Copies of this chain bind each other. A is one copy, B any other.
Amino acid sequence: MTGFTPTGKLHLGHYVGNLENLLKLKSEYDEYLLLADTHALGAKNFNYKDVRGYALDNLLDLLSVGLSENEVSYYVESDIPEIYELASLFSMYVSHNRALRNPTIKDEIKMKGLGDQFSLGFINYPMYQAADIMCVKGELVPVGKDQEAHLEQAREISETFNKMAGQNIFPYIKTLIGRVGKLIGTDGNPKMSKSLGNTIYLSATIEEVKEKVMSMYTDPTRLHSTDPGHVEGNPVFIYLDAFSKDQDKEQIENYKNKYREGKVGDVEVKRYLITILENFLSPIREKRKEYNDEEKLLKILKEGTEKVREESIKTLKEVKQILNFRY
């Protein structure tokens, strides 16, 4: 089980962060993919009217990378009221202090420049996230590194309720961090963001890929293509490592050696990266055409939501049973 907050388009960072793991594990697990539309309301400088569009666009991306609706249950958070009741019940057993101590919350406040201008809902995010996972009894959560603290809190909550129940009604929640925990931006910035324009979207056109790669940061200490260059921390090589297939590894090693020796220019390596990214993105682009139909997307959501809602109603009933809330 994992989720996305639909405040923008999905990009290469999302792929290596968790989509790759979802693809790898889809035959082994029942997978659930949430579009956390409500969470998007807390985002600063964001028009709430755009949430729906991004939710459908994210869904389209997820289907296009190969997470078919037959293998994954897709759902929108706001269509499952039981998630919010679970979150509310959880919040009675988490101290306000503990919630404010959450390092991810602290980081996000700093990163987004929220100061003390964040919503009450924002502080509740980890409760919703716990409910998102626990409503379907989630066991394994593929996430980016920055979500670890939220999951730690979800784990504490599941332990609290298991203890109250006197039995393990919730499984232990394991985190699965992606192969590339956090992909750096095309400008070398450790944080990818729409406003910085340093991302390559999963839905990027060939032209967009070319433009982004050609303007990519490389090694700032290297002035001429004959200077010895650094491969480590260099976005071009990081992306090459992240998006190449096994058969490309030898060629990449070659380029790395030549780059270190000052025997290859940035432009040549970038052109090679464009090929690698195109090999990666073109099948996604093809599948996108297949699914790009609002009616089809809504039907997929409807089916997933029905399934998840049924499970959530069951889970809420169990939690209410623990509390003796039977009327």
Contacts and interface: CB of A to CB of B under 8 A. Distances in A.
A78 interface: yes
A78 B324 contact: no
B96 A116 contact: yes
A89 B87 CA distance: 13
Given A81-B82, A92-B122, A96-B116, 20 more contacts: A38-B85, A38-B92, A41-B92, A41-B323, A49-B323, A51-B323, A51-B325, A52-B324, A55-B327, A76-B327, A78-B323, A81-B81, A81-B84, A88-B128, A91-B120, A92-B121, A93-B119, A96-B118, A96-B123, A301-B327
Nearest to A35: B327
Nearest to A117: B95
Interface in A111-136: 116-124, 127-128
B37 A325 contact: yes
A76 B95 CA distance: 24
Contacts of A96: 116, 118-120, 122-123
Contacts of A42: 92
Contacts of A92: 38, 41-42, 119-122
A157 to B, nearest CB: 11
Interface of A: 37-38, 41-42, 48-49, 51-52, 55, 76, 78-79, 81-85, 87-89, 91-99, 116-124, 127-128, 298, 301-302, 305, 316, 320, 323-327
B127 A91 contact: no
Nearest to A126: B120
A97 B87 CA distance: 21
Contacts of A121: 88, 91-94
Nearest to A128: B88
Contact of A89 (B38, B82, B83, B85): B38
A326 B117 contact: no
Contacts of A79: 327
Contacts of A93: 41, 119, 121
A20 to B, nearest CB: 27
Contacts of A87: 84, 88
A49 B121 CA distance: 28
A114 B122 CA distance: 23
